[in-house]
Structure 1
Amino acid sequence: MGKVGIRDVAKAAEVSVTTVSHALSEANQHRVSPETREHVREVATTLGYAPNRLASGLRNQRSYLLGLVSDEIASTPFAGEMILGAQDAAYERGWLLMLVDSGRNWDLEQKQLAALLQHQVDGVVVARMYHQEARVPEGAGRVPTVLLDAFDPEGSFSSVVPDEEAAARTAVRELLAAGHTRIGFINNADDIPAAAGRLAGYREALSEAGIAYDAGLVTREAPAVSGGRSGAQRLLGMADRPTAVFCFHDRQAFGLYEVAAQLGLTIPDDLSVVSIDNFEIIADGLWPGLTSVALPHYGMGRWAVTRLLDEIEGVAPDGETVQMRFDCPIVRRGSVAPPRAG
């Protein structure tokens, strides 16, 4: 059988060539019903039909290429789901994603963006390893640009970040619901939006429960296993130690588990623990499993590319930049129980 053309798809789907064209087009797919669009795409897939992107790009002056500029996401195990979400969203709409990772080398990132622009990418996602104010490479504004896990204070670009305050409220409410009233918090020592947002959420959850904030129950440590150890030694060494601890992220919780074991404390009978990240290698690997609020890396990656394509194709419903905050769901495991009586 020769190469399958658009007329072959139209004949097999029993629709017009125009209907096939609309159903397979990012810009015109709204002109056919969802049912027809799905039917045409299924027939096209079965026949092995692939639209001529080169010809389409020449007509629309598009390359159907997107760039994703990362500081270190591709080279670490913690936030790779953002890349997967971004790639899936691009592929589903018929686009390809070109990824570059600078390893936090600013000069290299500038050169990488320039190379992407030379390859005629139609838009760029600037992604960061953790929630932060973005330093956007020069030239990003030459094409539509969306920030992923980052923001710019002026709101010049659409952006998506986790809702840090809500994530912390969810974590602390889990401990409050189990009956804990003396809850410690091992926060991140770095001056970053996540640390400020999670402290605010911690305080808000306590306030909702009528519990006064006690600064003595909060410690700021390195965002690492070692930071969890030092924070745990401070909190669990108190004469009136907390019955539960909220950790900034799972690596700190790992260190907390180690110190609790050294002190002869059993989780969750003697100490309940909740964290943020849901980094499964740690959260599932600890025993008992760590209850953790998941950072929505995959969903944020999907949203960033979807928003970028909407802006490129002129179908963004608002026409203005959007600063999106993503909900963070809790994943319950075995690290929370009511406080031991007495």
Structure 2
Amino acid sequence: MTGSRVSEKTSGIRDVAALAGVSPTTVSHVLNQTPHTRVSEETAARVRAAAEELGYRPNRLARGLRTQASDMIGLLTEEIATTPHAGRIILGAQEEASRRNLTLAIINSELHPDPEMDESQIQAFLDRQADGIIYATVYHDVIEAPENLLMRPAALIGARDTAGSIPAVLPDERGGAASVVDMLVARGHRRIGFAASADDVPATRGRLQGYLDGMARAGLSTDGLIVEGGSDARGGYRATLALLEREPTAVFCYNDRMAMGAYRAAADRGLQIPSDLSVVGFDDQAPLPESLFPALTTVALPHYEMGAWAVAALADLIQGTRDGQPRAADPEVLECPLIERDSVAPPRRRAAA
């Protein structure tokens, strides 16, 4: 009977301290991730192992009452929760939050909502005592941060704020596009067409500039090799048909949906991919690239990494471990990796530049 009572007894912080051979204060610092404390990693690992063995978890409610911290951060998305991109952003944010013992709450907003709606949704996080807020946008943009967003530490995904006061993370669209041209040139292509988007958004400008960078670096002409279209399959189809009149050996599309239209255009002209025409997309928007035949070579946006970066940056701000917030003029820019599949091959002919 006595043994049963001991096994069912709830372990406390002193039990963890005794098992780890440290003071209760050290246990508190380690498990609550108290900033500006000096605990060696060896000691911290011993404390965590002891807590795990005893099944001990810190009382977050009591800690919150003492510190006015909720250990919750808010993620306000701009319609990304209903797009294929959202899953990776949310997963990256969620896993980084878990690593830092934080709870992630999500509110899905409308695309480009009016300022009043933004403020009300941010207020919902403030009312719930969120320690910080992340704002994620669909299109890379410069936003006017609502006043109440600045009442807590904040971070931006896919955007910069006009005041330059909020840490931001962006994908390197320009570098990703340039890497496509570099790869095609290495495969022997000299006439590389670009099916550009007609949408006036930063991603359009970044990807076009990356294409121009790569072509200039290789000493290749772009005359007649840039055609704009809608950023969907229909737009890609029409843009590619126009490009095929200029006899490119490869077509680089603004996004994967336009690349899907490029496949149809090539088929209508009796061309085989990749033996007659190489095609490359951008976004790696699952499941599209691997659903096409042959599977589409494309560039991936670092959604998971951006979500994780934003949570890490926000947590550091909350804990006061940053020397200062990055300015909007120099946001964190993450690499967009090239994902090579089966839609690229050396050209049958090497046309003059």
**Is 2:264 the counterpart of 1:266?**
no
Contact 2:299 2:339 in 1 (8 A): yes
Q: Please list, as runs of the form range in 1=range in 2, the aligned pairs for 1:315-330 lying within 5 A after superposition.
A: 315-321=321-327, 323-330=331-338
Contact 1:22 1:31 in 2 (8 A): no
Partner secondary structure for residue 31 of structure 1 = coil
Amino acid at match of 1:314: G
1:335 corresponding residue in structure 2: 343
Q: Which of 43, 50, 73 does residue 43 from structure 1 map onto?
A: 50
Q: Please list, as runs of the form range in 1=range in 2, the aligned pairs for 1:166-185 lying within 5 A after superposition.
A: 166-185=175-194
Amino acid at match of 1:39: R
Percentage identity across aligned positions?
46
**Is 2:299 the counterpart of 1:293?**
yes
**Is 2:262 the counterpart of 1:256?**
yes
Contact 2:284 2:301 in 1 (8 A): yes
Q: Please list, as runs of the form range in 1=range in 2, the aligned pairs for 1:108-257 lying within 5 A after superposition.
A: 108-214=117-223, 216-236=224-244, 238=245, 240-257=246-263
1:69 corresponding residue in structure 2: 76
Q: Which of 262, 279, 285 does residue 285 from structure 2 map onto?
A: 279
Amino acid at match of 1:99: I
| Cα gap change, 1:21 to 1:67, in 2 (>3 Å) | same
Amino acid at match of 2:67: N
Contact 2:284 2:298 in 1 (8 A): yes
Once structures 1 and 2 are overlaid, which stretch shifts more, 76-85 or 171-180? 76-85
2:4 corresponding residue in structure 1: none
Contact 2:169 2:309 in 1 (8 A): yes
Q: Provide the rounded CA distance (Å) in 1 between the counterparts of 2:345 and 2:232.
A: 25
Contact 1:66 1:95 in 2 (8 A): yes
Amino acid at match of 1:270: D
Q: Provide the rounded CA distance (Å) in 1 between the counterparts of 2:277 and 2:82.
A: 35
Q: Which of 30, 45, 61 does residue 54 from structure 1 map onto?
A: 61
Q: What's the TM-score once normalised by structure 2's chain length?
A: 0.91
Q: Provide the rounded CA distance (Å) in 2 between the counterparts of 1:293 and 1:16.
A: 51
Contact 2:32 2:58 in 1 (8 A): no
| Cα gap change, 1:134 to 1:46, in 2 (>3 Å) | farther
Partner secondary structure for residue 133 of structure 2 = strand
Q: Provide the rounded CA distance (Å) in 2 between the counterparts of 1:299 and 1:36.
A: 30
Q: Per-residue displacement from partner, 1:123-150 (whole Å, max 9, x unpaired)?
A: 1111101212224334101111111111
Q: What's the TM-score once normalised by structure 1's chain length?
A: 0.93
Q: What displacement does 1:156 show?
A: 1.8
| Cα gap change, 1:47 to 1:330, in 2 (>3 Å) | farther
Amino acid at match of 2:86: A
Q: Provide the rounded CA distance (Å) in 2 between the counterparts of 1:46 and 1:149.
A: 41
Q: Provide the rounded CA distance (Å) in 1 between the counterparts of 2:21 and 2:180.
A: 54
Alpha-carbon RMSD: 1.8
Q: Provide the rounded CA distance (Å) in 2 between the counterparts of 1:43 and 1:257.
A: 58
Q: What displacement does 1:16 show?
A: 3.1
Q: Per-residue displacement from partner, 1:106-163 (whole Å, max 9, x unpaired)?
A: 3443321111111111111111012122243341011111111111233121111111
Q: Provide the rounded CA distance (Å) in 2 between the counterparts of 1:189 and 1:217.
A: 15
